[in-house]
Structure 1
Amino acid sequence: MIALRSWWTVVAVAAAVLLGWLAGLAAPSLGWGAPVVGRSGLITVAAVSVLCLVLGWRVRRDREKPPAARMDPIAAARTLVLGQAAGFAGAALAGWHAGVALQVAARAGAGAPTVREAALQTAGGLVLLAVGLVVERWCRIPPEGDAAEGGRGEDGTAGRGRAPRPETEGGYARARD
């Protein structure tokens, strides 16, 4: 599974800021209100954040148990995916509302109720993003072997004590000659 990269979250936030700014620009000319999620959205974001943290903490605690007593690996993988999804959803939510807040603040001033709502949603999105990144970190599998060996096995090969197969070296399948 590919780890959530910080630069991808920055790209997601930047793209969402641009889209939110454009939506905030277009909404009044179409006769719509500002495209901001109401306060009930904060309750949902808080609930998802708490659920994600609880499940992530469960996986983190489970890593300290002996291998025979550990949880189902599929459940841990699902928690990892939940953390990644929460990270991207938080990035999109924060970016969108930051863009809308910038557009509305330029027209109506920083004290407008819509700007306050958008600022609250931006903060909620940033919290969800942070929770997603933390949960993903908790779900990482620690390297086997001694830390001084750099996670190498007894024979000096990387990862789980086995040498990489040439046909899949680097994580990509190679065609056989």
Structure 2
Amino acid sequence: MVNQGRGLRWSQLAATALVVGAVSWIGWRIYLNTGGLLGPASWISSVLLVVMAVLVVGAGLPVRRFLRGEATKPLSPIRAARTLVLAQAAALTGAGVLGWYAAQLAHALAELSLPGYRDLVWRLLTLCASAVVLATAGMVTQRMCRVDPPDRGDEDAG
């Protein structure tokens, strides 16, 4: 499974979400079996995830403009590299956060009769959706930073 410099793939994000989700589910199961309850989930966390997604895409736009030849200012190669790393970190963070909250959501859905869990389910669903938005923003920004290799035909002609 060689990536050959193509960056993160959706399958890697899915694997990250599944592994984090499975480990989180096991941890929550152990905790819940001792009599504990799921903790509160904040609407603010969802807002922060979406704001981070917007900022990541915003950081990628100058790189995209430069690569398309639409930029009015030169772009530092180190800034472009940092933007790519930021995009990949955002994608992996979104996948990890999705796994974390999806595990809690699974437990909350199984125990809807408990007080407060109906409201908690909506918050966890929103957090899962926000995590998907962050992961998607990271993947979109990674694509904005992509520099395609030169065509082989151009090298032969020169």
Fold in common (TM above 0.5): yes
**What TM-score, normalized by structure 1, do the two folds share?**
0.74
Conserved 8 A contact 1:93-1:122 = yes
- Unmatched 5+ stretches in structure 2: none
Once the two structures are aligned, what percentage of the paired residues are identical?
27
Q: Secondary structure at the match of 2:65?
A: helix
Aligned length: 152
Partners of 2:28 and 2:124 in 1: CA distance = 11
Pick aligned residue for 2:140 from 131, 134, 140? 134
Distance 1:115 1:68, change over 3 A: closer
Q: Which residue of 2 aligns with 1:44?
A: 48
Distance 1:24 1:51, change over 3 A: same
- Unmatched 5+ stretches in structure 1: 145-150, 162-177
Conserved 8 A contact 1:36-1:100 = no
Q: Which residue of 1 aligns with 2:156?
A: 156
Conserved 8 A contact 2:62-2:71 = no
Q: CA shift at 1:68, angstroms?
A: 10
Distance 1:66 1:60, change over 3 A: closer
Q: CA shift at 1:96, angstroms?
A: 1.3
Partners of 2:139 and 2:92 in 1: CA distance = 9
Structure ID, larger Rg? 1
Task: Quote the RMSD (CA, aligned, Å).
Answer: 2.7
Q: Which residue of 2 aligns with 1:167?
A: none
**What TM-score, normalized by structure 2, do the two folds share?**
0.82
**What is the CA deviation profile of residues 124-163 of structure 1, one whole-angstrom value per residue up to 9, with x for unaligned ones?**
000111101100000011333xxxxxx1253439xxx8xx
Partners of 2:152 and 2:72 in 1: CA distance = 22
Distance 1:18 1:35, change over 3 A: farther
If asked which structure has higher relative contact order (CA below 8 Å, sep 6+), I would say 2
